Structure 1
Amino acid sequence: MGEETLNDKINEFMIWAEENGWTITKNEDHQLHLAGSLLSRYKEIPNDYLEFLSVVKRCITPDEKTWFLCEDEYNNRSEAEFKWNEFEMLSLEAARDDELWKSEITAWWDSYLPIVMSVDGGYSFYAIDLTNDIGAIVRGYEPEFEEVEQAAHNLEEFLELIMSNSIEFQ
């Protein structure tokens, strides 16, 4: 047996998700067209997540309270009422007129690309660390979205943890 590639892992995850009642749609043309505004802000999106996005078009849990952010979400073309940067916007709203706090919030989100959003039992998200432990997946939740803990060392491990129900999505 050769090394299992990330692509194998993504396919395994897609099969698992479908078998477990998720709404999962394959990106048939494998082309990725992310908005320039996203790419200019996040210049260093890890290849493994770009790979995931080029394969997965939609990925939503059975209860529809948790979803992966995919191309349509990042390009603000999805039907979800939440924008991909909803939690950053909520934090900025909370900071009101405190410009220093606002700039700290924006700087923090510059370093973390949200990849999963959840409204299950409160607002929470998973994001890719683009600065400190590059490629690691962190989890944050309300009210202090920016106080995160590491959930996985990389995307592959994150998918593993979901499939083994170590990270539980309904």
Structure 2
Amino acid sequence: MDNGKGKTHIGDFITWAEANGWEIRKKSGAQLHLNSGITSRYKGLPKEYSEFLSVVETCVAPDEQTWFICEADFNHNAEIEFRWNEFEMLSVEAAAGDPAWQSEITAWWDHHLPIVMSVEDGYSFYAIAADSGAIVYGCEPEFEEVEKVADSFGEFLAWMMSNSNR
């Protein structure tokens, strides 16, 4: 039985995702071991998101163009073409030759942890805003110009279930 709000959202989302053709691989144990580079850069991850990462090993949309960034991705143990911070790296590269702009980009990403990536209709992502726990959406060419889609990770999962076209 679950008495935690986050787990209910996570269980509901997993059920919905599996019913809608998402490839969900659950972890065998419910432990989370993020590398220190992630935990030191992004202190105080929302509990619901940490719970999601402790339960879900992979979560990929049916068209394989949208996916959640999971523990193995953050720890560089996944066999994927995109690094978890791919869009940050693209922005920093675009700012080559302008150290102040590069620093501004890095500082922005220091406060926005990407959690979902997509290559459908161009590059886009969802991220957790570290200051509020809100979930924001950004896309190319200006990844750092974002819009809020949910106030929390649990609300984001509910939003995904009701707006399954993204």
Separation in structure 2 between the aligned mates of residue 149 and residue 142 of structure 1, nearest angstrom: 13
Aligned AA (1:152): A
Separation in structure 1 between the aligned mates of residue 40 and residue 100 of structure 2, nearest angstrom: 23
Write out the 4+ residue segments of structure 1 that deviate beyond 4 Å after TM superposition.
Answer: none
Q: CA deviation at 1:54?
A: 0.6
Q: CA deviation at 1:96?
A: 0.5
Separation in structure 1 between the aligned mates of residue 4 and residue 112 of structure 2, nearest angstrom: 27
CA separation of 1:167 and 1:135: change in aligned 2, threshold 3 A: farther
Separation in structure 2 between the aligned mates of residue 91 and residue 13 of structure 1, nearest angstrom: 31
Aligned AA (1:51): E
**Could you tell me which residue of structure 2 aligns to residue 91 of structure 1?**
91
Separation in structure 2 between the aligned mates of residue 168 and residue 74 of structure 1, nearest angstrom: 26
Identity of aligned residues (%): 56
1:154 aligns with 2:152: yes
Separation in structure 2 between the aligned mates of residue 124 and residue 78 of structure 1, nearest angstrom: 20
Cα RMSD (Å): 1.4
**Could you tell me which residue of structure 2 aligns to residue 6 of structure 1?**
6
- The CA deviation string for residues 90-109 of structure 1, in whole angstroms up to 9 with x for no partner, is 00000001000000000000
**Could you tell me which residue of structure 2 aligns to residue 30 of structure 1?**
30
Instruction: Please give the TM-score of this superposition, normalised by the length of structure 2.
Output: 0.95
- Where in structure 2 are there 5+ consecutive unaligned residues? none
**Could you tell me which residue of structure 1 aligns to residue 140 of structure 2?**
142
SS of residue in 1 equivalent to 2:154? helix
Separation in structure 1 between the aligned mates of residue 42 and residue 4 of structure 2, nearest angstrom: 28
Query: Any conservation in 1 of the 2:46–2:153 contact (CA below 8 Å)?
Result: no
SS of residue in 1 equivalent to 2:77? coil
Separation in structure 2 between the aligned mates of residue 4 and residue 31 of structure 1, nearest angstrom: 17
Aligned AA (1:153): D
Instruction: Please give the TM-score of this superposition, normalised by the length of structure 1.
Output: 0.93
- Where in structure 1 are there 5+ consecutive unaligned residues? none
**Could you tell me which residue of structure 2 aligns to residue 65 of structure 1?**
65
Query: Any conservation in 1 of the 2:67–2:116 contact (CA below 8 Å)?
Result: yes
Q: CA deviation at 1:163?
A: 1.1
Q: CA deviation at 1:147?
A: 0.3
SS of residue in 2 equivalent to 1:29? coil
